[in-house]
């Protein structure tokens, strides 16, 4: 489990001991010359890259493909914000939510799915991600979600490549229930770009 927690590039604490990115200001990524126009690009939170400036290597639908090298180790990730979010009770405040699919070649990690949900999750709670008619149990820590059964991750990523969206459900430490829906438009292309550009 420690390896999987450390594996979530999305939180800089995993790589560089940074603060929770849900509380960090946004950092404007520099665009690679070959990248598509970043007009719709989601800007990764500053703490997510541990001080290493992320480079946008492609924008595909709602998903941005990025690379960074915190502590000299290449990390690549696809990132998106939810297309819609609901809370119960309604209108509860929260930080922005993000879905990530990250790869860390030095650690031989490919296409690890995580969600930073924008609030502290209820300790010991479990969440779920629904994609392509299947539901995947997620374990929680802090403001992050990771797939509970690592053996299901490849099937989950393949389902995400084919499906129009995913739905993520969680419960905050204060008991607020949230439902976030992320469009998967462009995810497959973003993952292909990462696989092409992030081999070392």
The pTM score is 0.76
Q: Which of 4-13, 42-51, 66-75, 190-199 has the lowest mean pLDDT?
A: 4-13
Question: To which H or E segment does residue 61 belong?
Answer: none
Q: Could you give the CA distance from residue 122 to residue 171 in angstroms, rounded to a whole number?
A: 6
- pLDDT computed for residue 154 by the predictor: 93
Let me know: does 80 contact 98? Beta carbons within 8 Å. Answer: yes
CA-based nearest residue to 88, from 162, 174, 177, 6: 177
**Residue 154's CB: how many other CB atoms inside 10 A?**
11
CA-based nearest residue to 22, from 141, 148, 160: 141
- pLDDT computed for residue 44 by the predictor: 64
User: Any long-range contacts for 108-113 (C-beta under 8 Å, 24+ apart)?
Assistant: 109/7, 110/195, 111/153, 111/154, 111/157, 111/191, 112/4, 112/7, 112/8, 112/9, 112/146, 112/153, 113/146, 113/147, 113/153, 113/156, 113/157, 113/160
Residues recorded for the chain:
200
Q: Could you give the CA distance from residue 103 to residue 96 in angstroms, rounded to a whole number?
A: 22
104-138 residue pLDDT tens: 888 889 999 999 999 999 888 888 999 989 999 99
- pLDDT computed for residue 124 by the predictor: 82
Let me know: does 13 contact 20? Beta carbons within 8 Å. Answer: yes
**pLDDT: is 45 or 101 the higher one?**
101
- pLDDT computed for residue 102 by the predictor: 93
165-176 residue pLDDT tens: 999 999 999 999
């Amino acid at each position: 489990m420690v390896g999987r927690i450390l594996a979530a590039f999305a939180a800089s604490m995993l790589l560089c001991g940074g603060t929770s990115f849900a509380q960090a200001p946004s950092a404007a990524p520099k665009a690679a010359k070959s990248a598509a126009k970043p007009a719709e690009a989601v800007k990764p939170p500053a703490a997510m890259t541990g001080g290493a400036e992320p480079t946008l290597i492609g924008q595909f639908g709602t998903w941005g493909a990025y690379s960074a090298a915190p502590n000299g180790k290449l990390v690549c990730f696809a990132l998106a914000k939810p297309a819609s979010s609901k809370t119960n009770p309604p209108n509860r405040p929260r930080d922005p939510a993000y879905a990530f699919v990250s790869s860390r070649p030095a650690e031989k990690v490919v296409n690890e799915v995580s969600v930073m949900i924008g609030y502290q999750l209820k300790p010991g709670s479990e969440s779920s991600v629904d994609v392509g008619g299947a539901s995947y149990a997620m374990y929680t820590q802090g403001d992050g979600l990771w797939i509970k059964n690592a053996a299901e991750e490849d099937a989950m990523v393949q389902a995400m490549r084919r499906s129009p969206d995913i739905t993520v459900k969680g419960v905050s430490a204060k008991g607020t229930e949230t439902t976030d829906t992320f469009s998967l438009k462009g995810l497959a292309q973003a993952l292909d770009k990462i696989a092409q550009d992030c081999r070392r």
